[in-house]
Every structure is written in C-alpha cells, then in structure tokens.
C-alpha cells in the first residue's frame, strides 16, 4: 500500500465531498473530485465554486474535477462521500476501477436500510478488493471549508492504515485522530443524526435549555447502549465521533438533522426541502437493530414514530416524559 498518499480521490461532490477535497488539498495532496453530474462538474470547472452544495468556497488549485470514476483508479486512496443509502451503488461502481488494497474511506453517516449493515460492511461487500476505512466526527462542511479548526477520527482495521491516512489528510486546521475501532466510529455518526432530530424537536417546541441538555445526556446513554451491544469501544463512543458529534449536531440549525427536528417541533410544515437529513433515513433501521439486541432507545424510537407519522410530536414528548421512573443508566 502506498504510504504517501500523494493523490486522493473524492467520490461525491456534495457539501462534504467538496470540503474534504479542499482539506486534502490544504494537506498538500493532489485531489480528483468526482461527481455523477456532468453539468455540475462543468459549472465547477468554469467558476471553481460548487454553487449547488458549498457556495462561497473556492476550490483549491490542486483539485481537479471529473465525471469519470476511472479517473479515481490512479488515486492512492479514495474518500467515498455520497449519502449512506447511495454508498453501495458508488462503491460497487468503484470496484471496477480500484486496484487491490486501495483504501476506500467512507465519510457517510448512516446505516444501510434493508441490510442493516454499517458503512464499512457495505464497502466490504460492494468493493471487496479495497481496504475499508471511515472518517467521522464533529465537522460541518462549511466550517472545514472555511479553515476553522476541526478534529475528526479516521478508523481502519489496521491502525497503521488509519494513521497513514490521518497523516496524509490532516493539517493544523483539520486534525485527524486515528483509531482501529471502525465499528465505534460508524455507530456514533449514524446514531447521533437520529438523536439530533429529537434535539431539534426540543428546540423547535421551545422546551428550554434544561430539556435540551437532558435530551443530549439521555440520547448519549442510548448511543452508548447501542454501541456496546454492537461491539463499539466505550472510549470511541465518548470521543469525537460519538459524544463530540452528538453535541455538535444537537446544538445548532447549521445541522440539517437538527433543522429538520426544529421544523417538526414547530409543526410548521416546513421541512428543509432537498436537504439531506441522514437521521430521517437511519431512524427505522437503528430502532430495528436496537430491538434485535434488546437495546432500550426510547428517544430514537420516538423520532422514528414521529417520522413515520404514527404519533404526533406532542404525544411523543408526552410518552417520553411519562416513562416509568428508573435508575439512571
């Protein structure tokens, strides 16, 4: 495996893919940014700005653009930055292009519906010759693109792979910690999006700062229980990709998941149209996986029920507040 990672591919030119392309360029890499959308690539070629997904941010000069996945075949590592539910499709297409042993780093936060597979499990199935890895943590694309200080975790089965990738992609403003707890990192990113919708509901309903803090703490207890049941390490769940990302995403309408929750809480019928809210797609599979292992996740369950239209927001809040008294655990 090349350890220098001179050339980095980024599959997916949404907000996060574009920000990561610039971050990798800032770290001194040559970057190829791929999108399926020819018109979007042509517009970015002309303006050097991704107006659709990350307006106001100029692409670094070492970022080249492509609509051909074949152009990623010469990359030393590829970041897969499409939504969780699209990751299998793009990883499968990459399987025809990537040489054996190429690190393929999922940057999506979700669990595949239908299969209940975590993101690196999807990569293993769809692109078996690649080395799966995951990058996740508290990091809004706009913050990373603006060069604001950010810290995330990069995990791979072999810690040496994770460390080499973290070194290649990191810079003073984009710090990467490495880990071999792949499962822990992927669980944190997937679960926090569902809990952020609940936090948004609390915010949108005007339930107050005390309720918001209680929601984060009890939501984190759910994330920990789920993580433990699925083999995550506690120190990962309490780290950047777990607690760190939960706090970020539960705190501001900069988060699309939180913003969706706010609109549900206000019951204003406004759902940020066309905006990706991964938690809305993960909620049902997360709850089903919790059920399969007997993990108690009342907040995630309430979010799932509201999204499915089975209960209203008021009823969901009421049922959470009237749960039987129990020990804190």
Ligand X SMILES: NC(=O)C1=CN([C@@H]2O[C@H](COP(=O)(O)OP(=O)(O)OC[C@H]3O[C@@H](n4cnc5c(N)ncnc54)[C@H](OP(=O)(O)O)[C@@H]3O)[C@@H](O)[C@H]2O)C=CC1
Ligand Y SMILES: O=C(CO)COP(=O)(O)O
Query: Rule CB under 6 A: which residues touch ligand X?
Result: 12-17, 35-37, 53, 81-84, 86, 89-90, 107-110, 139-141, 276, 278
CA–CA separation, 223 and 147 (whole Å):
30
CA 98 to the chain's CA centroid: 23
CA–CA separation, 191 and 230 (whole Å):
12
| Residue 192 annotated to the active site | yes
Residues in 249-278 that interact with ligand Y by CB under 6 A: 249, 255-257, 278
Q: Which does 245 bind (CB under 5 to 8 A by kind): ligand Y, ligand X, none?
A: ligand Y
Q: Are strands 117-118 and 111-112 parallel, antiparallel or unpaired?
A: antiparallel
Shortest spacing between CB 137 and ligand Y, in angstroms: 7
Closest CB to ligand Y among residues 75, 276: 276
Shortest spacing between CB 48 and ligand Y, in angstroms: 24
Buried residues in 262-273 as b, exposed as e (16+ CB within 10 A): bbbbbeeeeeee
Say whether residue 53 binds ligand Y (CB under 6 A). no
45 is in an annotated binding site: no
Say whether residue 79 binds ligand Y (CB under 6 A). no
CA–CA separation, 162 and 272 (whole Å):
35
137 is in an annotated binding site: yes
Please, are residues 8 and 31 in contact by the beta-carbon 8 Å criterion?
A: yes
Please pick, from the candidates 139, 153, 179, 241, the single residue that binds ligand Y as defined by CB under 6 A: 139
Span interacting with ligand Y, options 48-56, 136-144, 215-223, 320-328, rule CB under 6 A: 136-144
276 is in an annotated binding site: yes
Say whether residue 174 binds ligand Y (CB under 6 A). no
DSSP labels, 33-98: EE-S-HHHHHHHHHHSEETTTEEEEEPPTTEEEES-GGGGTT-SEEEE-S-GGGHHHHHHHHHTTP
C-alpha closest to that of 32 among 65, 2, 6: 65
Please, are residues 204 and 262 in contact by the beta-carbon 8 Å criterion?
A: yes
C-alpha closest to that of 81 among 20, 130, 129, 139: 20
Closest CB to ligand Y among residues 200, 227: 200
Shortest spacing between CB 294 and ligand X, in angstroms: 28
Q: Which does 132 bind (CB under 5 to 8 A by kind): ligand Y, ligand X, none?
A: none
Closest CB to ligand Y among residues 98, 303: 303
C-alpha closest to that of 279 among 255, 311, 298: 255
Residue 239 tokens, joined: 């780290």
Q: Which does 107 bind (CB under 5 to 8 A by kind): ligand X, ligand Y, none?
A: ligand X
Closest CB to ligand X among residues 182, 316: 182
Shortest spacing between CB 232 and ligand X, in angstroms: 18
29 is in an annotated binding site: no
Q: Which does 255 bind (CB under 5 to 8 A by kind): ligand X, ligand Y, none?
A: ligand Y
Could you tell me the sign of the dihedral formed by the alpha carbons of 54, 56, 62, 67, in that order? positive
Which residues form the catalytic set? 192
Annotated binding site for sn-glycerol 3-phosphate: 109, 137, 139, 192, 245, 255-257
Interface residue list for ligand Y (CB under 6 A): 109, 138-140, 193, 196, 245, 248-249, 255-257, 278
Binding residues for NADPH: 16, 36, 109, 141, 256, 276, 278
């Amino acid at each position: 495996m090349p350890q220098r990672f001179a050339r980095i591919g980024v599959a997916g030119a949404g907000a996060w893919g574009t920000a990561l392309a610039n971050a990798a360029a800032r770290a001194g890499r040559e970057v190829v940014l791929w999108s399926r959308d020819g018109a979007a690539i042509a517009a970015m070629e002309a303006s050097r700005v991704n107006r659709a997904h990350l307006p106001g941010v100029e692409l670094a000069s070492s970022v080249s653009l492509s609509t051909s996945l074949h152009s990623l075949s010469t990359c030393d590592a590829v970041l897969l930055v499409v939504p969780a539910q699209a990751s299998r499709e793009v990883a499968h297409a990459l399987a025809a292009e990537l040489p054996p042993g190429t690190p393929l780093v999922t940057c999506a936060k979700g669990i595949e519906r239908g299969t209940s597979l975590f993101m690196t499990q999807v990569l293993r199935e769809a692109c078996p010759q690649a080395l799966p890895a995951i990058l996740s943590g508290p990091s809004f694309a706009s913050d990373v693109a603006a060069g604001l200080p950010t810290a995330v975790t990069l995990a791979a089965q072999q810690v040496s792979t994770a460390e080499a990738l973290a070194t290649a992609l990191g810079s003073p403003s984009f710090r990467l910690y490495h880990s071999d707890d792949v499962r822990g990192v992927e669980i944190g990113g997937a679960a926090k999006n569902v809990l952020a919708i609940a936090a948004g509901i609390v915010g949108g309903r005007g339930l107050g700062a005390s309720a918001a803090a209680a929601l984060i703490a009890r939501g984190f207890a759910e994330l920990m229980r789920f993580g433990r049941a699925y083999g995550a390490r506690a120190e990962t769940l309490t780290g950047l990709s777990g607690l760190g990302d939960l706090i970020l995403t539960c705190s501001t309408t900069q988060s699309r998941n939180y913003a969706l929750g706010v609109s549900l809480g206000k019951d204003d019928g406004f759902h940020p149209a066309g905006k990706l809210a991964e938690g809305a797609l993960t909620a049902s599979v997360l709850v089903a996986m919790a059920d399969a292992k007997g993990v108690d996740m009342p907040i995630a369950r309430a979010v799932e029920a509201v999204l499915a239209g089975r209960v209203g927001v008021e009823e969901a809040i009421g049922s959470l507040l009237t749960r039987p008294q129990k020990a804190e655990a």
